[in-house]
Structure 1
């Protein structure tokens, strides 16, 4: 075998892999858009293939069915969310705790908003939260980030040490409730300006300060 043929043999698998990855990304982008527009149940693999400009058979070469495609989409969104949380935690590590809390929650909410249409479409199709909430690994990873944040609040003596075991759970619970309530109940969606109010609530509670009472 000459050097030219051996180099071509090394290059071709890499090229095929890049083409396969690019095709998978096109499929995921098409599915993401259609799931958001129509809902999961009203979107077929043929619809996704047409939006991506591919043959239906090509889709099945990459994803065995619609559920596998949906699972991959959610995994991708979650990985990006976790990566952004890590970046935010690293960037704000030396700031006062209230600022850290605001930045981390802002990152969390912004990451969620990017795939809110997908989750709403799933809920409309499935009529419950089971398909979304059945992701304990992701929730555990988010909990771990909030645990890091809570420890920083304790170190700065901003948070009550008696709540040490509950703080990450409370953070996760508040964040998830604020995100899911508009989908399930029609409550107003989170606005960027609401994050500061949420930080105030978490640090001070919902009661009126004694100095402000009539």
Structure 2
């Protein structure tokens, strides 16, 4: 029943009642858990319904197919990340490079429980290339914006280059903290130190003249 037919191409149902919204939240949470555990391709609609303690008909009432669930999860994950990036961007002008480095390096690791299916969804062999590119592009844009707020004289090209390095460091931190990458007990702290040193050395020369960190 995971296949798509013309009748299954309808948009996900948006419930108006609180009980319906709660049910959708439970179904999406179950889907996110399973996709994170087993991968997108291996997860079935029946397993999602069972994990949520719902009847399969209830799942199909809200979502016509697994692709609709994946799209909804991706949109949710993007909104969560966007909110966090914007929040750190708003604070960046008052942060030292070390403080900004810490805020960024741990951002994705801290949010992982809320967006845990994101890596599997991003890597799934489905036609979401545009959405994946948009998510990466938005992350790079928000990081570069925060960098320039912290170091106002930083040019855009350099900010973009630094943002790409920081984003990769953030992904490595997620793998270390949540066991998806080879690591050692002290490795996350070492990565934090490395990120601090990197941003301090790169942003320091572009900070506003006459500003002293910590004042």
Q: Given the superposition, is the C-alpha separation of residues 122 and 134 from structure 1 closer, same or farther in structure 2, using an over 3 Å criterion?
A: closer
User: Does structure 2 conserve the Cα–Cα contact (< 8 Å) formed by 1:147 and 1:168?
Assistant: yes
What's the offset of the Cα at 1:56?
A: 1.2
Structure 2 counterpart of 1:55: 55
The aligned counterpart of 2:132 is 135
Paired residues, number? 182
Aligned partner of 1:72 in structure 2 is 72
Q: Which residue number corresponds to residue 199 of structure 1?
A: 196
Gaps of 5+ in 2: 1-14, 203-215
Matched residues in 1 for 2:36 and 2:112: separation? 14
Check whether the contact 2:30–2:52 (CA below 8 A) recurs between aligned residues.
yes
Report the CA distance shift for 1:192/1:175 in structure 2 as closer, same or farther (over 3 A): farther
Note closer, same or farther for the CA distance 1:136–1:100 as it changes in structure 2 (3 Å cut).
Answer: same
Q: Does 1:168 align with 2:160?
A: yes
Counterpart of 1:89 in structure 2 is 89
Tell me the C-alpha RMSD between the 2 structures. Answer: 3.5
1:73 Cα deviation (Å)? 1.4
Provide the TM-score with structure 2 as the length reference. Answer: 0.67
Offset at 1:140?
3.0
Q: What per-residue deviation string (whole Å, max 9, x for no partner) do you get for residues 61-91 of structure 1?
A: 2112112112211221221122122223334
* Cα distance, 1:28 vs structure 2: 0.5
Which sections of structure 1, spanning at least 5 residues, go unmatched?
A: 1-14, 206-214
Separation of aligned partners in 1, 2:118 and 2:95:
34
Pair 187,130 (structure 1): closer, same or farther in 2 beyond 3 Å? farther
Say if 2:144 and 2:160, in contact at 8 Å, map to a contact too.
Answer: yes
Higher relative contact order (CA 8 A, sep 6+): 2
Distance 1:131 1:198, change over 3 A: farther
Q: 1:176 to 1:130 in 2, by over 3 A?
A: farther
Q: CA deviation at 1:105?
A: 3.1
Q: Which residue of 2 aligns with 1:19?
A: 19
Residue 98 of structure 2: SS of its match in structure 1? helix
Structure (1 or 2) with the greater helix fraction = 1
